[in-house]
Amino acid sequence: MTERVRRWGIAVAGTVTLVSVGLLAAEPALFAGAAIPLAYVLFGAFSRVPTSDLDAERTVAAAAPTPGDPVEVTLTVENTGDRSLTDVRVVDGVPSELRVVDGSPRGCGSLRPGDSLTVEYAVRSKRGTYAFDDTAVRIRPLAATEVATATVEPDGDTALTCANVVSEVPLADATLPRAGTLPTDSGGSGLEFHATRDYQPGDPVSRIDWRRFAKTNELTTVEYREEQAVRTVLVVDARPPTRVTPEPGYPTGAELSAYAAERLLDALSRSSVVASLTAVGLAEEDLVGGLDPDGLAWVDPDGGAQSPQANRLFDGVQSAAARDSAAADATGGNATAGVAADGSGVVSDDGQVQDPYLRRLLARLPPTAQVVVFSPALDEWPVELATSLRARSYPTTVVSPDVTGGEELGQSVAALERQLRLESLELVGATLIDWDLVEPIDIAMRASLAELFSQ
CB 336 within 8 A of CB 379: no
pLDDT for res 436: 85
Distance from C-alpha of 80 to C-alpha of 55, rounded to nearest angstrom: 7
Range among 32-41, 68-77, 135-144, 340-349 rated most confident: 68-77
Model pLDDT, residue 375: 94
pLDDT at residue 214 in the model = 83
pTM: 0.67
For residues 59 and 10, what is the distance between their CA atoms, to the nearest angstrom? Answer: 46
73 pLDDT more than 90: yes
Q: Please give the pLDDT value at position 359.
A: 86
The number of C-alpha atoms within 13 Å of 36 and in the hemisphere containing its C-beta is 8
Average pLDDT, the chain: 76
Mean pLDDT of 429-448: 77
What's the average model confidence in pLDDT over 363-372?
87
Angle at 379 between CA 358 and CA 313, to 5 degrees: 55
Which residues share a beta bridge with 165? none
Residue 178 — very low, low, confident or very high, per pLDDT cuts 50/70/90? very low
Give the mean model confidence (pLDDT) for residues 28-56. Answer: 65
The amino acid at 110: S
In this predicted structure, what is the pLDDT of residue 31? 57
The upper half-sphere exposure of residue 110, i.e. CA atoms within 13 Å in the direction of its Cβ, equals 6
Which residues have a Cβ under 8 Å from the Cβ of 75 and sit 6 or more positions away? 56, 57, 58, 59, 90, 92, 105, 107, 118, 119, 120, 135, 154
Local confidence band at 339 (pLDDT 50, 70, 90 cut-offs): very low
- Say how far apart CA 318 and CA 314 lie, in whole Å: 6
Confidence check: pLDDT of 277 > 60: yes
Range in 4-13, 85-94, 287-296, 361-370 with the lowest mean pLDDT: 4-13
pLDDT of 164 higher than 60: no
Structure confidence at residue 331 (pLDDT): 43
Nearest to 133 by CA among 101, 171, 166, 105: 105
* Residue 324 pLDDT greater than 90, yes or no: no
Residue 306 one-letter amino acid: Q
Q: Residues with Cβ < 8 Å from 5, sequence gap 6 or more?
A: 144, 145, 146, 147
Give the C-alpha separation, 284 to 288, whole Å: 8
Whether residue 174 is predicted with pLDDT greater than 60 in this model: the reply is no
Lowest mean pLDDT among 110-124, 269-283, 413-427: 269-283
Among 274, 301, 304, 280, smallest CA distance to 292 is for 280
- Mean pLDDT for 108-136 is 88
Per the model's pLDDT, the better-predicted residue between 404 and 18 turns out to be 404
How remote is the C-alpha of 183 from its chain's centroid?
39
| 167 has a pLDDT exceeding 50 | no
CA–CA dist 416, 435 (Å, integer): 15
The larger pLDDT score, comparing residue 150 to residue 145, is at 150
Per-residue model confidence (pLDDT) at position 49: 59
User: What percent of the chain has a predicted confidence (pLDDT) above 70?
Assistant: 67
pLDDT at 144: 56
Query: What is the arrangement of strands in the sheet containing 116-124, beginning at the earlier edge strand?
Result: 100-103, 116-124, 70-79, 54-60, 155-156
Q: Is the dihedral of CA 352, 358, 364, 366 positive or negative?
A: negative
- Which pLDDT value is given to residue 304? 52
pLDDT, residue 399, reads: 92
Using pLDDT thresholds of 50, 70 and 90, give the confidence band for residue 387. very high
Does pLDDT of 235 surpass 90? yes
Q: Classify residue 84 by burial, with Cβ atoms within 10 Å: 0-12, 13-18, 19+.
A: middle
Give the DSSP H or E segment for 325: helix 308-330
Least confident of 134-143, 184-193, 368-377, 401-410: 184-193
Amino acid type, 156? G
Average pLDDT over residues 429-441: 83
pLDDT band (50, 70, 90) for residue 336: very low
pLDDT band at 187 (very low <50, low <70, confident <90, very high): very low
Distance CA 270, CA 275 (A): 11
DSSP 8-state secondary structure symbol assigned to residue 209 = -
Confidence of residue 202 (pLDDT cuts 50, 70, 90): confident
What is the structure's pLDDT at 300? 83
